Amino acid sequence: MKTRVTHFPSRAVWLPKAAGSGPYHHWLVDAGSLTQRLRACCCTFSVTSVNQRWARPQSDEATLLGLRPQQRALLREVCLNCDDQPVVFAHSVLPRASLRGPWHGLARLGARPLGAALFANAEVVRTPLSYRRLQPRHTLYQRAAALLQPGVGCLWARRSVFTLRGSSIMVTEVFLPGVLAL
């Protein structure tokens, strides 16, 4: 996999560095396969499907992917688990045009990890990671926190765009407190 440096003006709320992320920092900045890293940290790795639906992505997500404001995409949300403990909530935006093209098999992943498919193909190009501290009012925080006990503080997330033969998808990973025990 290659990394492409691209400037996106809409990334103002997503930062180029994970400053202030404390114990989450080493998880956030690792640009390798998160799936592979999690598998190495636990006895049993699993993916639980949370939601998959056609819907409008958030406006900043649509902008990153070059989608029109009302354009729908396949939103895939899963929980990555280590030893039955939820450790990462993953949110992917898969535009219809990308699913008709080189990413055609991604709509049928089910409980298989997306990361395994992304990092297995040397043609895939990834933009640099960007980071955000999610507060309770953020949609991704709310979706991720639904998997946890009440009273969770802020959550850290990272995201990037993956491109294959001109078609792009976006992956956001929200790190849950359980990842700190690994």
Cα dihedral sign, 103-109-68-61: negative
Average pLDDT, rounded, for the chain: 92
* Domain residue limits, the chain: 2-8+26-181
Count of CB atoms within 10 A of residue 6's CB? 12
Name which of 180, 78, 175, 84 is nearest 132 in CA terms: 175
Q: What's domain 2-8+26-181's superfamily in CATH?
A: Chorismate lyase-like (3.40.1410.10)
Count of CB atoms within 10 A of residue 90's CB? 22
Q: What is the pLDDT of residues 154-182, one digit of tens each?
A: 899 999 999 999 999 999 999 999 999 99
Q: What is the pLDDT of residues 116-126, one digit of tens each?
A: 889 999 999 99
Name which of 173, 182, 181 is nearest 88 in CA terms: 173
Q: Is 127 exposed, middle or buried (0-12, 13-18, 19+ CB in 10 A)?
A: buried
pLDDT, mean of residues 114-142: 94
Residue 9 confidence (pLDDT) above 70: no
Q: Whole-angstrom Cα distance, residue 38 to residue 32?
A: 11
Q: Whole-angstrom Cα distance, residue 153 to residue 125?
A: 33
pTM for the structure as a whole: 0.92
Q: Whole-angstrom Cα distance, residue 31 to residue 166?
A: 21
Q: Would you state the pLDDT for residue 2?
A: 58
How distant, in Å, are the alpha carbons of 57, 77, 81 from that of 49? 18, 6, 11
Task: Give me the residue label for tokens 């640099």.
Answer: 128
Give the single-character DSSP code of 17: S
